Structure 1
Amino acid sequence: MIESFNKKELEEKIDQYVNGQLSAQEVDELWAELIQDGYHLDYLKSVANLKAVIERKREEEKSTNKKEYWYYAAAAVIALLIAVVGVMNISTQQQSSVEPVSSIELDYYRSGDGAISSSSDKEVIRNAIKLANTGRENEAISLLQSELEDASEPGWIAELSLNLGSLHYNNGNYDNAIEHYERVVSHKDNENVDVLMLEKAYWYIGNAHFHLDQLVDAKTNIEKAYELNGAYRRVAQSYLNALSD
């Protein structure tokens, strides 16, 4: 009988009961003993409560683990999607997302050491650029336009036209810019109109058409800049690839 169990044996029986390891008869014998033993009845309650707490914690951990698993799984999926979309966007940008040049930096015709080059020291152009760089673009345009009206030498006409085109381009007057750049191209056979000047003219004509959403004309002129095989070849190639998509 259970009455013959000592304290240690009784506590073992309580642990077995709580863990569902006793038969129905053994359970009845245990309760018969515990009704007369307040200490071990409290012990049973403590063990039972502890087991309940443990079981609840286990369930919470399982639930948490499941939530964490799904959280991290979802996070992994989201990260993967972001990575894939990012690669797609980068790929798309590299292949087809180009924009026309927003503005043109006006040159000061300096030589390699930073000094003003005497071979290209055109005072009127330098003055016009100074005006433009201080926000007086209209005065700069008027100055060059006046000089252009009196010009007769093809190389000088081309140089004035190139700068006028850039001034109009920076003001967003793309039609006027195209007109001046095309004047540069019209003098391409003159010995004083070098390859770089022609490249710039074709390149910026193409970009001006790009701003006007005239993509066929844009591509045609950028191709001409590319074919000159000079300083603008590489950038022209990237634009041609994009405009061909």
Structure 2
Amino acid sequence: MIESFNKKELEEKIDQYVNGKLSAQEVDELWAELIQDGYHLDYLKSVANLKAVIEQKREEQKEHTNQKPYWYYAAAAAIALLIAVVGVMNISTQQQSSVEPISSIELDYYRSGDGMISSSSDKEVIRNAIKLANTGRENEAISLLESELKNASEPGWIAELSLNLGSLQYNNGNYRKAIEHYERVVAHKDNVDVLMLEKAYWYIGNAHFHLDQLVDAKMNIEKAYELNGAYRRVAKSYLNALSD
């Protein structure tokens, strides 16, 4: 993963992007840079406009045929879309915040940093709670996990139950209750891995964001960023927006 481009590399990547020569991963890396760089967003727009003009002039000179090749329409459509996207992003960067809190959290079994399902999360109670929630029975799912939490004593298991309870409350729009559960995860940070702790901070930040508590939102998202894990890049874009 490319963390940062210098000016020359960035402009070369933009030229390659406009000409359709970047892979999907390279496009993602490029936009991660551009979303924080107003100057090169304008550069991208200029390159796209210039390419559109050049292609138009070339076609006007082809008087021997009235039919434009397929690639012309594809390129023109891609350039038009590119200009539209850049225009929206330019508007967004001028606003106080160009990001929104995540609307919901996908319910899934908690996985450790190496991608394996942890032994505690493989317990039937969490699977049953997720099944209930996924069939619209969120309140039953919450009651099931709360009942399990009352009897829990192992810190790692308490944290995992709390993470799932927080996500259920978050998806129900109960952001204050969600924060309470996520903060219980943080309270047991010595007994959880980095990924679980990172999720807790990230979700706490987004819950505060929903409540318009932007100082607390930024503080917790920054903690997720500092853990330097899976949420680092997206956390950075949120921090930039919340700092405007």
Which structure 2 segments of 5+ residues have no match? none
Structure with higher Rg: it is 1
Relative to the length of structure 1, the TM-score reads: 0.60
Could you say what secondary structure the match of 1:231 adopts?
Answer: coil
- The number of aligned residues is 243
Higher helix share: 1
Compared CA separation, residues 96 and 124, structure 1 to 2 (3 A): same
Contact 2:175 2:207 in 1 (8 A): yes
Compared CA separation, residues 111 and 39, structure 1 to 2 (3 A): closer
Distance 1:46 1:233 in 2: 30
Question: 1:98 Cα shift?
Answer: 0.1
Question: 1:52 Cα shift?
Answer: 44
Distance 1:145 1:200 in 2: 20
Q: Compare 23-32 and 94-103 and name the one that shifted more.
A: 23-32
What's 2:149 paired with?
148
**Runs of 4+ with deviation above 4 angstroms:** 1-85, 109-119
Question: 1:89 Cα shift?
Answer: 3.5
Question: 1:8 Cα shift?
Answer: 76
Question: 1:122 Cα shift?
Answer: 1.3
What's 1:204 paired with?
203
Distance 2:199 2:14 in 1: 95
Which structure 1 segments of 5+ residues have no match? none
Question: 1:92 Cα shift?
Answer: 1.8
What's 1:118 paired with?
119
Question: 1:151 Cα shift?
Answer: 0.5
Distance 1:55 1:124 in 2: 61
Distance 1:46 1:229 in 2: 35
Residue by residue over 1:79-102, the C-alpha shift from the partner in whole angstroms, topping out at 9 and shown as x without a partner, is: 999989926735627983100000
Residue by residue over 1:87-124, the C-alpha shift from the partner in whole angstroms, topping out at 9 and shown as x without a partner, is: 67356279831000000001135799999775631110
Compared CA separation, residues 67 and 26, structure 1 to 2 (3 A): closer
Residue by residue over 1:181-214, the C-alpha shift from the partner in whole angstroms, topping out at 9 and shown as x without a partner, is: 000000111xx41100000000000000000000
Q: Compare 136-145 and 27-36 and name the one that shifted more.
A: 27-36
Q: Compare 49-58 and 2-11 and name the one that shifted more.
A: 2-11
Distance 1:122 1:2 in 2: 38
Quick one: higher RCO (CA 8 Å, sep 6+), 1 or 2? 2
Compared CA separation, residues 133 and 220, structure 1 to 2 (3 A): same
